[in-house]
Amino acid sequence: MDPATKRPWVWMTVFFIAMAFLESAVVVYLRALYYPEGFRFPLVPMDPGLVATEVGREFATLVMLLAPAALVTRSALGRFAWFCYGFGVWDIFYYVWLKVLLDWPASLAEPDLLFLIPVPWVGPVWAPCVVSVGLIVLAVLLLRGAGRGPCAPDRQTWSLLTLSAVIWIASFVLEPLRLMDGSRSAGNVLDGLVPERYPWPLALMGGLIGAIGLVRLAVRKAAR
């Protein structure tokens, strides 16, 4: 890899690792405030204004993941690929920094509150890490050696990757949605939330479908 090609990878990686530390630092403060004896379910009640701020912070995080990609390339596919790479690196190092700062999680099976948009997402730590590894692999396949532009997946590959993403998201939100009823909205379902189970067979299905899509893309890239 020549220096001009290597430079974006280096600086993007540094940026997203640093961004992950910033995200982890916010969580350190929140846990010191709400979980002084260590994070665990059930979730404790939070001020509605603070929950709204957290939702805004998560939206801002997505913008920050996309903005560097928009600066690096004008290609829509290239921006998507860099977003995937950034999300994967950021998410993995988010947990790396939490381990360094709080010695948490104790294991990859530890349940976590993953996201709040548009409803709470919950799942074991290993699940978002697997997704993040897949996103990094996808980004590398799309971007590496793309002197003539990113190697675009065909329609069948896109369908597999999209289906995989939908299944993974479903695995994270099904349990919170099950706990929500007419008297519990997305805003207050956090209060006392205790995920009873994670649908790992669904996650396994999503992982297998995604892996098939990545293999198809790798074969297409090799043929190219």
* pLDDT tens readout for residues 128-163: 999 999 999 999 999 876 555 556 889 999 999 999
The reported pLDDT for the residue numbered 36 is 92
How far, in Å, CA of 209 to CA of 161, rounded? 7
Helix or strand (DSSP H, E) at 182: none
Residue 83 structure tokens? 């977003």
The reported pLDDT for the residue numbered 182 is 47
Note whether 124 and 172 are within 8 A (CB).
no
Q: What are the strands, taking DSSP E only, across 100-203?
A: 111-115, 121-124
pLDDT band at 216 (very low <50, low <70, confident <90, very high): very high
Q: Is 123 helix (H, G, I), strand (E, B) or coil?
A: strand
Q: Select from 143, 161, 138, 8 the least CA-distant residue to 75.
A: 143
What's the mean per-residue pLDDT of the chain? 89
pLDDT band at 170 (very low <50, low <70, confident <90, very high): very high
Average pLDDT over residues 103-117: 93
The reported pLDDT for the residue numbered 8 is 87
Whether the pLDDT of residue 3 is over 70: the answer is: no
How far, in Å, CA of 17 to CA of 188, rounded? 32
Tell me what percent of the residues of the chain surpass a pLDDT of 70: 88
Note whether 190 and 179 are within 8 A (CB).
no
Note whether 184 and 135 are within 8 A (CB).
no
Is the entire prediction scored with pTM above 0.95? no
Task: Please provide the size of the chain in residues.
Answer: 224
Which stretch, 11-25, 146-160, 183-197, has highest mean pLDDT?
11-25
Whether the pLDDT of residue 224 is over 80: the answer is: no
Cα angle 179, 181, 183 (rounded to 5 degrees) comes to: 120
Backbone region of residue 42 per phi and psi (left: phi > 0; alpha: psi in -120 to 50; beta: other values): beta
pLDDT band at 45 (very low <50, low <70, confident <90, very high): confident
The reported pLDDT for the residue numbered 47 is 84
Whether the pLDDT of residue 28 is over 50: the answer is: yes
Q: Is 38 helix (H, G, I), strand (E, B) or coil?
A: coil
Neighbour tally for 205: CB within 10 Å = 17
Higher pLDDT, 193 or 17: 17
Domain ranges of the chain: 3-223
Neighbour tally for 105: CB within 10 Å = 17
- Chain-centroid distance of CA 140 in Å reads 16
